[in-house]
Amino acid sequence: MVQEAKSRSLRSRPPQANDEFLSFTASVQFDHRLWRHDIAGSIAHAHALARAGVIDEAELESIQSGLREIAAELKEGRAALDPSLEDVHMNIEKLLTDRIGDAGAKLHTGRSRNDQVALDMRLMTRESLLDVSSKILQLQEVLLTKAKDTSDSIMPGYTHMQPAQPVLLAHHLLAHYWRLERDLGRLLDCYKRTNLSPLGAGAVAGTAFAIDREAVADMLSMDGVTQNSMDSVSDRDFVAEAAFALSLMMVHLSSLSEELVMWSSREFGFVRFLAGLTGGSSMMPQKQNPDIAELARGKSGRAIGDLVAVLTLLKSLPLAYNRDLQEDKESLFDVFDTSEASLRALTRFLAGAEFDKVRMRKAAEAGLMTATDLADLLAIRGVPFRKAHGLVREATLRSKGDHGEFLKRADELLVKELPDLDANASETLTAERSIARRGSTGGTSKGAVAHQLSVAEEMLGKNRGSVEKLMQDVSAVDRLLWA
């Protein structure tokens, strides 16, 4: 009985926000990052309200200048955001209403936080996509510079992490360039789907006010508007796409980092880093650890975690807006922060790296890496390649990894199989000759690499132009704020 009375009294108590509810549901502690985008979106929305006749010119002016003052205060850290107001959107609206009264209370006409937060996230994402893109361009530039600086340096190419065939160091560095080229392409592709305005979708069904959605999009330099109000408030594909593109980019950084870590080991000795950019040991005074590369490698795991969190969040959500979607923010912010920081650190780290050309050239001598050239030589002169492969394999096995021994057996083979050929192994089977033979497009010969480098340079220039052009659109937010 007592139990029942108590539950009835609980039931009849008017619902009110309590601390526990708020501490679990509030998002302002992380979504405060959206304040610039939120204010710019509100200014554009206010213009649409004025055009729809919901507010008059004086009210528009008061909303706009009020929002700009709030922006200035937020920038200088003078305005405090209140967690009891839940999120950044409610906070800014409250700051505005406290300041200008009724006009401020009209701002949310024809708008829901559901389309508002979707807009803010898109504005923030397009900006961050370009920030990361310009960091990628910087790393690509370092890779190109290093490739040019080391243009005749030879190193072992590996497959299965076993010595395979000699390659130019420039060729190896450029391989990383192309991975980043695709990453950049993915980010800019994601930008296209991100840069659409969902404002006017309202909570779920659209808006009953004559809001010119295209004009709002225009004001924010967005490429158009979304086509379905239900999709507009629930679509976080751009979040997942960005998280994936960044995760894959981080996987590429991790792979590059792993090589730098390996190459700097005593056993390889291919590369040295600037002392100021290496880590020491609290115990071992001699240590110079490649901490930056190790952390970039480690942070890729964190990016992948963010991606998995976003995808898991989205799966099984019914249409349209669900509060779960608030959870997209920390993952997205984190994957952007992690990517940018890793790119910046690794770019400096690589820029200061010094390759040991002598050691690399020497390593390219070991491992019988010109065995393929010998088989090719036989094949070119008519020995069926399978047979040539078998004969050369036999010779390599017998030489037990010894380079001199291999050359001796190679000479025997040449005399036996190609008695008319005037060539000796020690001249024909050098790393330099091996590299020179591989002039196919994308191959490692000096000529092919020089061509590759010029294509890469041209692309870098073009991409820089595209990113700069898109930056113009992104800066619409700041133009609205600081006009």
Told to check if 140 binds ligand ARG by CB under 6 A, we report no
* Cβ(224)–Cβ(214) below 8 Å: yes
Please pick, from the candidates 195, 234, 326, 428, the single residue that binds ligand ARG as defined by CB under 6 A.
Answer: 326
What are the residues facing 168 on neighbouring strands? Answer: 154
CA dist 160 and 174 (Å) reads 20
CA dist 206 and 218 (Å) reads 19
From the list 444, 434, 269, the residue with the least C-alpha distance to 362 is: 269
Please pick, from the candidates 60, 117, 196, 292, the single residue that binds ligand ARG as defined by CB under 6 A.
Answer: 117
CA dist 480 and 483 (Å) reads 6
For ligand ARG, the closer CB: 28 or 154: 28
For ligand ARG, the closer CB: 266 or 323: 323
CA dist 451 and 447 (Å) reads 6
Count, residues near ligand ARG per rule CB under 6 A = 9
For ligand ARG, the closer CB: 32 or 99: 32
What are the residues facing 355 on neighbouring strands? Answer: 271
Q: Which 416-475 residues touch ligand ARG, going by CB under 6 A? A: none
For ligand ARG, the closer CB: 117 or 371: 117
Region of 5-13, 111-119, 227-235, 435-443 interacting with ligand ARG (CB under 6 A): 111-119
* Cβ(374)–Cβ(429) below 8 Å: yes
Residue 326: CB minimum distance to ligand ARG, A: 4
For ligand ARG, the closer CB: 90 or 388: 90
Angle of helix 237-263 relative to helix 169-194, nearest 10 degrees?
170
Residue 235: CB minimum distance to ligand ARG, A: 13
Q: Which 20-49 residues touch ligand ARG, going by CB under 6 A? A: 27, 31
Q: Which 79-98 residues touch ligand ARG, going by CB under 6 A? A: 87
Region of 228-236, 240-248, 321-329, 445-453 interacting with ligand ARG (CB under 6 A): 321-329
Residue 219: CB minimum distance to ligand ARG, A: 22
Candidates 160, 282, 316, 440; catalytic one? 160
CA dist 441 and 264 (Å) reads 31
For ligand ARG, the closer CB: 320 or 407: 320
For ligand ARG, the closer CB: 210 or 319: 319
Please pick, from the candidates 136, 307, 325, 392, the single residue that binds ligand ARG as defined by CB under 6 A.
Answer: 325
Residue 39: CB minimum distance to ligand ARG, A: 16
Q: Is 254 assigned a catalytic role?
A: no
Please pick, from the candidates 68, 94, 99, 113, the single residue that binds ligand ARG as defined by CB under 6 A.
Answer: 113
Here the tokens at position 127 are 């900006």
Here the tokens at position 335 are 């994957």
Please pick, from the candidates 114, 133, 347, 372, the single residue that binds ligand ARG as defined by CB under 6 A.
Answer: 114
From the list 107, 127, 125, the residue with the least C-alpha distance to 60 is: 107
Residue 25: CB minimum distance to ligand ARG, A: 8
CA dist 379 and 101 (Å) reads 87
Non-local (6+) Cβ contacts of 183 within 8 A are 136, 245, 248, 249, 252
For ligand ARG, the closer CB: 111 or 146: 111
Residue 314: CB minimum distance to ligand ARG, A: 13
Residue 26: CB minimum distance to ligand ARG, A: 8
Q: Is 454 assigned a catalytic role?
A: no
Candidates 7, 65, 84, 281; catalytic one? 281
Region of 66-74, 109-117, 235-243, 465-473 interacting with ligand ARG (CB under 6 A): 109-117
Region of 5-13, 113-121, 220-228, 278-286 interacting with ligand ARG (CB under 6 A): 113-121
Region of 216-224, 252-260, 319-327, 375-383 interacting with ligand ARG (CB under 6 A): 319-327
Region of 126-134, 320-328, 348-356, 452-460 interacting with ligand ARG (CB under 6 A): 320-328
For ligand ARG, the closer CB: 114 or 133: 114
Residue type (1 letter), 402: D
For 155-188, give the secondary structure using H, E and C: EEEEECCEEEEEEEHHHHHHHHHHHHHHHHHHHH
Active site positions, annotated:
160, 281
**By the criterion CB under 6 A, which residues form the site for ligand ARG?**
27, 31, 87, 113-114, 117, 323, 325-326
